[in-house]
Structure 1
């Protein structure tokens, strides 16, 4: 697929996350990589974006490997990972959305006779997409958004007093949410070069013993829907390079120069499966 198609890849891990994004791209066709990896591709109405939707499955390594493969295949301008996460802060509640300002890989370190010595790894996200997100959420009624770091690793946290929870509080104290795939996707985008990347996560639980009860009440579906709505709003704000379509809802303080937007200023469900297991 030629890069001038203005492709953005929207990645999800779970079927319910994929189902939350899919209705925003009403006309889709399935494309299959030679290795069997599948995406659905279609236009985001009202924009120049061609959206490629992919459901990767769970886990950091899977996300890193498949994101790299999809980037090499489709040559997108941007990559968004969209889905659910657990809150690590008391003031970030169910249904809130955390847009990652950076993504921590939480398992790096060295085991020594005196204990585990942490070697933190943080991956940056796109400033342009962050700016578009800050602009977009100001106009979104019913969305409570937080721009904070996200912790990412191969763990489902369902005990606020566990060793991993204490590890996060001690070494990644500014992280607002925990999930499993963001670091793999952002790392792949970062190593590719100048590719824009962003992680958007809806909060479905508080990463504690009440996780199962929250999931049982449909919190994952609701959180995924919130994350999907924010991700789409970001794409409506952030125009592709050379786009002929203006951003949705231009603000008086925004200026246009060639292919660049300078943002001034500062915070449907079908039957699906694939919830986080415990």
Structure 2
């Protein structure tokens, strides 16, 4: 049997509705798909590129993001994954409206509590070199974007007090981090465990992770930051090309190797645990549980 053409897919992940909306505005011919466990994505075309985008809104938190990213990778077999959204600045020269591209992401809560105090056990996950290079190239032609390439800190905390203990902890132990957010480490961990998946975290700065956070958010800074991050993401995907022969080479048989969970976006035919618009999953006696 002839394998269908498999379209190169990029998974674009967000946590908040306004982040999702900022990316969604760039995606055409959208169609909603539902995983058998209920997770929803919109798939569509990114004009001017070979990419099909699968866009998901995961909610907040690194653990949740990691679990759902793993599920989506296993389902959709993307070639790349980007987590796109807003973050708080940790540096004086990283301003509201700037974009931070994560050269690596720190999970800040790893460590050991001892009688002598808390001993930090840093965990750092690098972003994709190829995607980072595409981002560096893209922002050179974006005069309206001020971009920074630096580490990003991920913590299960909304930081709204620059003088707090957690703020001092981050400055002391992750001093080169330019921004703090809540999901990046979970996404990169899922991509890392997958093996060959390129992944990158792109964050627009919506506040300074201090007491002015609420006022900044109320001023519309979150929406602006999300739109800037989405614009950089789209520019990255215009620069970053799918792997050579993604539709008919070594990447193409991945669906067959994993039990036939391949996707033909052009024909609208989904093989594996995928539901159509009716919301009813086709029978798949060989499918596995996520």
TM-score category of the 2 structures, normalised to the smaller one: 0.7 to 0.9
CA contact (8 A) 1:3 1:74 kept: no
Match of 2:25, SS state, is helix
How many angstroms does 1:243 deviate by? 6.5
Q: 2:214 aligns with which of 212, 215, 218?
A: 212
CA contact (8 A) 1:3 1:75 kept: no
How many angstroms does 1:115 deviate by? 0.7
Instruction: Give the total of aligned pairs.
Output: 244
Tell me, yes or no, if structure 1 residue 187 matches structure 2 residue 189: yes
How many angstroms does 1:242 deviate by? 2.4
Structure with max Cα Rg: 2
2:20 paired residue number: 18
Tell me, yes or no, if structure 1 residue 113 matches structure 2 residue 141: no
Gaps of 5+ in 2: 247-290
How many angstroms does 1:23 deviate by? 1.1
How many angstroms does 1:58 deviate by? 0.3
* CA distance 1:3–1:119, change in 2 (3 Å): farther
For the residues of structure 2 that align with 1:26 and 1:123, how far apart are their CA atoms? 32
1:53 paired residue number: 55
Runs of at least 4 residues off by over 6 Å? none
For the residues of structure 2 that align with 1:219 and 1:138, how far apart are their CA atoms? 23
* CA distance 1:44–1:136, change in 2 (3 Å): same
Match of 1:154, SS state, is coil
For the residues of structure 2 that align with 1:84 and 1:63, how far apart are their CA atoms? 15
How many angstroms does 1:27 deviate by? 1.2
For the residues of structure 2 that align with 1:48 and 1:217, how far apart are their CA atoms? 37
TM-score normalised by L of structure 2? 0.82
CA contact (8 A) 1:99 1:145 kept: yes
Match of 2:148, SS state, is strand
TM-score normalised by L of structure 1? 0.86
What value does the CA root-mean-square deviation take over the aligned residues?
1.4
Q: 1:27 aligns with which of 26, 29, 50?
A: 29
For the residues of structure 2 that align with 1:54 and 1:91, how far apart are their CA atoms? 31
